[in-house]
Amino acid sequence: MKKIQLHILLISFGIFFGTSFVSIAQEKQQDSLAIAKQEVNQDNLGNVTDKFQEYFFRALAQRGIENYEKAVKALLQCEELKPNNTAVFYELGKNYKDLEEYTKAENYLYKALDEKQGNQDILTELYDVYYLTQNYTEAIKIAKQLSKFNIDYYEDIANLYVIKQQYPQALEALDYVDAREGKSEYRDALRAKIFSETEDASLEENYLQEELAKYPNDTDSYLSLMYFYAKQNQLEKTYQVAEQLLGVYPNAQEAHYALYKKYLANYEDDKAVNSMKTVLKGNLNETMKKEVVKDFMQLVKEKPKYEQALMQTLDNELGQDGETNKQMASFYLGKDNKKAILNLQAALKENPTDFATAKDLMLLYVEEKMPSKAILLAEEFMATYPSQPILYLVTGVANNTLENFNEAEENLLMGLDYLIDNPKMESDFYQQLSIAYQALGNDKEAKRFQQKFENIQKTL
């Protein structure tokens, strides 16, 4: 794929689309020196002077070591000797581009293109020039010419239209590739990005309706359209799509995504609970699943009698996903801390570097009198996050609990060195240090840190 895509994606969409793209030139396994030599051979220079060849290949050698100014100097001498040589124009264009003299680069590349209409290498260099100068209108024109060599240039075209905030044209470019190559995760992600940026909701609605018309037997098509209407708070249309789905699949669990919302709106709580339990058994994506769980939790807050149904559903249907496990832990916290711990452990297994989850888990270990586990987890994360004071506070508290007071003192003093502008945590450190020193028989330090603790508490 094209090298320019990487530039566009990093600027427009961040690391989320940070795939490594390989340039067409790289795919052909030709460096700039080889291409230029080929250009000379193809031009059939004939009776050129030895001086011309000397200057020309000197330019290629200088370019090879990225000495673009000397390369240009040699090429200009070539131009004096042979004023209308395509290879010279092409090489001047490339070197001026790398010197960021883009106007000169553009002029020379067009001179080369006049001699070799539609040449892929020249067009690729022009494409670079227009992208680097943010002349996206011209870049799109060049990309359309390059698409005859590689249809994936239409992905570049879509990205360029997004930069210009011309979203309908961007979607047309993506549809063009999809129609010829089939769908791809990359294009689907880019399309979703477009829908999230544009204020014209009809673009997404039209696309989803067209997808449903193309694939009337695909439950995902119905779900996507239901989700769209739910986000727009168009509940009646959400129900209509659910009815369409039930017309195709009378027992479709996914239809309950709309039905439970209808029941909640009509205060038919028993039916809503049954529908939520049913839809969570269906083929929901994680975003929709989290939405259903959130609505279920909200209902339980208002109607505690459904708590057991929620817990049973969470245990039965949602125990494997990291994000859902965190939702479950949040729900169980304070109600059933042992289950909260199990769910945080499962979430951390899904994402072993999730510091927020690890912090919640080690704090629960401390609260539930599991100090050894708290120490092991905190020390594990110290290797990656050595300046996080909470890790030292946790190990300090846990060591105090285990009556390892010397270790507690060491951890707590070390953690204080990393603490910045957090009075509440600072007071916790002082309180734990007072406990450690008291146990070690150092009454003076115990009183000093107890006084520090009390002074901060007065300000909180």
- How many angstroms from the chain centroid is the CA of residue 427? 38
Please give the Cα distance from 257 to 126 (Å, whole number).
50
Amino acid at position 13, single letter: F
First vs last Cα of the chain: how many Å apart?
58
CA atoms within 13 A on the CB side of 335: 14
Domain ranges in the chain? 368-460
Is residue 12's pLDDT more than 50?
no
SS3 call for 369:
coil
Please give the Cα distance from 142 to 156 (Å, whole number).
11
**Using 50, 70 and 90 to split pLDDT, how confident is the model at 319?**
low
Residue whose tokens read 């992208």: 131
**Using 50, 70 and 90 to split pLDDT, how confident is the model at 334?**
confident
Please give the Cα distance from 258 to 249 (Å, whole number).
15
- Provide the mean pLDDT of the chain: 87
The average pLDDT across 217-245 equals 94
Please give the Cα distance from 267 to 413 (Å, whole number).
56
> Between 214 and 24, where is the model more confident?
214
Is residue 203's pLDDT more than 80?
yes
The average pLDDT across 370-390 equals 96
Q: Residues for the chain: how many in total?
A: 460
pLDDT tens across 265-301, in order?
A: 999 999 999 999 998 887 788 788 889 988 998 898 8
**Using 50, 70 and 90 to split pLDDT, how confident is the model at 6?**
very low
Task: Supply the pLDDT for residue 66.
Answer: 94
Please give the Cα distance from 350 to 354 (Å, whole number).
9
**Using 50, 70 and 90 to split pLDDT, how confident is the model at 24?**
very low
The average pLDDT across 440-449 equals 96
Please give the Cα distance from 68 to 350 (Å, whole number).
50
CB 394 within 8 Å of CB 407: no
Is residue 253's pLDDT more than 60?
yes
CB 296 within 8 Å of CB 313: yes
- Can you spell out the DSSP letters for 45-59? --S--HHHHHHHHHH
**Using 50, 70 and 90 to split pLDDT, how confident is the model at 78?**
very high
> Between 331 and 138, where is the model more confident?
138
Q: ∠ CA(248), CA(252), CA(255), 5° rounding?
A: 95
The token pair at 429 is 């450190």
Find all residues with CB under 8 Å of 146, minimum gap 6, and list them: 2, 120, 123, 124, 127, 153
Is residue 460's pLDDT more than 90?
no
Task: Supply the pLDDT for residue 318.
Answer: 58
The structural architecture, per CATH, of the domain 368-460 is Alpha Horseshoe (1.25)
> Between 188 and 25, where is the model more confident?
188
Task: Supply the pLDDT for residue 1.
Answer: 39
Task: Supply the pLDDT for residue 321.
Answer: 59
SS3 call for 107:
helix
The average pLDDT across 197-203 equals 93
Task: Supply the pLDDT for residue 5.
Answer: 44
Note the pTM of the prediction, 2 decimals. 0.64
Please give the Cα distance from 130 to 116 (Å, whole number).
19
Find all residues with CB under 8 Å of 144, minimum gap 6, and list them: 153, 157
**Using 50, 70 and 90 to split pLDDT, how confident is the model at 37?**
low
What's the sign of the alpha-carbon dihedral 62, 66, 68, 70? Answer: negative
CB 190 within 8 Å of CB 17: yes
**Using 50, 70 and 90 to split pLDDT, how confident is the model at 311?**
confident
